[in-house]
Amino acid sequence: MNKRKREEEAGNSNSNSNSMEIVWQTPANPPESQDYILRNGRRHVRPYYFEFISHVKNRWAGKTIVDLFAEEFKGRPYDYYVSAVKCGRIQVDGEIVPVSYIVKQSQKISHFLHRHEPPVMAYDVSVLQNEPDVLTVCKPASVPVHPCGQYRKNTIVGILQAEYGLAPLFPIHRLDRLVSGLLILARNASKADFFRQQIEAGLVQKQYIAKVIGVFPEDEIVVDANIDYNAREGRSTAEVENANGAVKGKAASTKFTRISTDGTHSIVLCEPITGRTHQIRVHLQYTGHPIANDMLYLSEHVIGRSAGGMSADRAAANSGHSPEFIFHDNCPGEENSRDDFSIDPMCTNCPNLAPKGYDGLEEGLWLHCFRYSGPGWTYECPYPDWASLPE
């Protein structure tokens, strides 16, 4: 539901802001087609006003409202939080409080802000099958499946709702944001539960293709190496037993089969038996044949090519809202876009269209999901262009 209020900006030099009526959105507001701006091969979201809600945790209690935000959400300067509290953009239990206010455990904190989402590549989300209880699409690389971090409208679920009117949708599996390919979405909760039970029972086979560095071995390889995911760094490592017989991480297994090679790269069939974070990427690195454009799991020299900026994932992590600051129900080119959206005088991202810290240089991984199959059913997605090697 929208919330309307008349904004009275404290100390604001923008003459129009004192009479500006702002419509605050929540997750209940569905994405609409006019929310998107396509520019220079990127799909941007028109910045919008949004209410973030959280509840005071034990470690927050006893801090002033300003210190809480300055210490926990470092993506914005201290002075911004002072101004936001004074003008009511940060509230406690629906009330405006002084900057010296001491928060108490379990109180509701609202942060009303001008939200900028990172852009994604402007490929269409093509519908493959539209059945009464199942929808399958070809997910473009760079687009997350569902709302997370800084992304809400720039997601597969959001785009399908805005452009096709398809809702509700229940993704029955996930693809990493930079991975492309088959995505299966149930049209109702009972069908989603049907798929979930088959996946948990180990009855579903998943097949991906990857373009890797070097000549991959001709014989089938099965990698059994634990995956240890570091959430702070956003990357995983393959772990094997140390001298004491101990091993970190979770058990993981992937089967690899070479499809073709041109002597420089190889196209490899990847069949994950388990489902760990970045499993295929890490297990390919473990074989000595990482995905050829995987900046996260190639050598340090290659990773250094992107050191000049931050990816959208890194920008999201530094946005001033950690995953602890959640929604109600869950969790480059020319950027001066004054004709496309209203500039907010308090926003720390305006006048740019993309959020601060996003460098726009990332590309989709050469990793693509092309088939899921279970008892009595199979869904497929066409191969991408990069999957063909010259003879």
DSSP string for 20-56: -EEEEB-TTS---GGGEEEETTEEEE--EEEEEEEE-
**SS3 assignment, position 314:** helix
Residue-level pLDDT at 10: 38
Residue-level pLDDT at 57: 93
* Token pair of 299 as six digits: 């050598």
**SS3 assignment, position 90:** strand
pTM of the prediction? 0.83
Q: How many angstroms separate the CA atoms of 103 and 214, rounded?
A: 57
Residue-level pLDDT at 339: 53
Residues 6+ apart with CB under 8 A from 251: 224, 226, 274
Residue-level pLDDT at 356: 86
Helical residues (DSSP H) of the chain, grouped into ranges: 65-72, 78-86, 156-164, 189-200, 279-287, 300-303, 312-317
Residue-level pLDDT at 358: 80
β-sheet bridge partners, residue 336:
352
In 88-204, at which residue ranges do the beta strands (DSSP E only) sit? 90-92, 108-115, 120-121, 126-130, 134-139, 170-171, 180-186
Q: Mind telling me the catalytic residues?
A: 176
Residue-level pLDDT at 212: 97
Residue-level pLDDT at 21: 77
Domains of the chain, earliest start first: 1-30+48-115+320-354 (3.10.290.10), 127-306+363-387 (3.30.2350.10)
Residue-level pLDDT at 54: 92
Q: What is the mean pLDDT of each run of 10 residues along the chain (391 residues)?
A: 47 43 87 93 94 93 96 91 96 96 96 94 94 97 92 96 95 94 97 95 96 96 94 88 79 96 97 95 96 86 38 41 34 42 90 84 88 97 91 62
Angle between helices 78-86 and 65-72 (to 10 degrees): 140
